[in-house]
Copies of this chain bind each other. A is one copy, B any other.
Amino acid sequence: MAIMEISVVPLGTGQTGVGEYVARIINYLKQNGIPHTLTDMGTILEGDIDQLLGVARVLHELPFHENVQRVVTHIAIDDRRDRKVHLDDKIKAVSQRLS
């Protein structure tokens, strides 16, 4: 099981804002029942690596449906095979260690 963070940035839109494109991502995830956490810098998902890269493929494509011609996508994957991992696990684990 893995955790993936993805950020999809359209270039050449002429706008500084990208909220419209982030909203399309979150709508897609909600409509497809895919667990996720929206942060100020991206969207975090859990799943096995094949599922995650499959979702990344779809999310990366969304701005192109809106006539965007260039998209820069950053993906970070943290994949453990020694135990299951879920959203919020790491936050909880760190909280327990705080002095």
Contact = CB atoms under 8 A, between A and B. Distances in A.
Given A14-B14, A57-B53, A60-B49, A38 B94 contact: yes
Number of copies: 4
Interface in A24-51: 26-27, 30, 37-42, 44, 49-50
Interface in A41-84: 41-42, 44, 49-50, 53, 56-57, 60-61, 64, 69-82
Contacts of A26: 94, 98
A20 B49 CA distance: 23
Interface of A: 3, 5, 7, 9, 11-20, 22-23, 26-27, 30, 37-42, 44, 49-50, 53, 56-57, 60-61, 64, 69-82, 87-91, 93-94, 97-99
